[in-house]
Amino acid sequence: MMLTTLAATAPYWHGGGFPVFPVFPVFFLVVFLVVFLVFGVWRRGSWRARSDARSVLADRFARGEIGAEEYRSRLSELSRK
């Protein structure tokens, strides 16, 4: 009985049919990348366009828009958060 069942399903167990195993990891990798792009990069803009507050503050200080006293006070305020 076991031999006839094995013979009837053997092509699918021993190399026959489509290899399904690689499809699932690739599918989940694609889903992860799409979610990462939608909620990560596209939502906040490009990586280079985003700047943290310290670099913006340093740029304003370098351009002379704010003085040293204001720079230090705002920098200490950012360090507390």
Range of the domain at 41: 22-80
Q: Which two tokens stand for residue 10?
A: 């053997």
Q: What is the number of structural domains in the chain?
A: 1
Residue 3 in any domain: the answer is: no
Q: Global pTM?
A: 0.39
Residue 17 in any domain: the answer is: no
Residue 4 in any domain: the answer is: no
Residue 63 in any domain: the answer is: yes
Q: In the 8-state DSSP scheme, what is residue 49?
A: T
Higher pLDDT, 61 or 52: 61
Task: Check the CA dihedral 27-31-36-41 and report its sign.
Answer: positive
Q: In the 8-state DSSP scheme, what is residue 45?
A: -
Residue 9 in any domain: the answer is: no
Residue 12 in any domain: the answer is: no
**Tens digit of pLDDT for each residue in 18-58?**
666 778 888 999 999 988 887 776 666 554 545 578 888 89
Residue 34 in any domain: the answer is: yes
Residue 37 in any domain: the answer is: yes
